[in-house]
Amino acid sequence: MDDNLTFGERIALLRKRKGLSQTEVAKLTKSSREAIGKYERGESIPNVFTSKSIADALGISLDELVKGYKTNGNRK
């Protein structure tokens, strides 16, 4: 996967690869579709628990989801 993607772009790419809609990811993570959209657009960053739920819904590890990011959420 391209390490130059933003966190939101990574979520969107992985979601699409799994053939899931934002609504489906929202249901799997007990979030709203609006929240998933905000994460994908970079308007908001999920907390660690929601990030783990998103990773689980996408069938990847949390490490894979956040790969390439510093602890403050910024790209390296």
2-27 pLDDT, tens digit per residue, is 667 888 999 999 999 999 999 999 99
pLDDT in the model for residue 76: 47
- First and final CA of the chain: distance in angstroms? 16
More confident residue, 46 or 70: 46
What is the SS3 assignment for 13-64? HHHHHCCCCHHHHHHHHCCCHHHHHHHHHCCCCCCHHHHHHHHHHHCCCHHH
Contact yes or no for 65/54 (Cβ under 8 A): yes
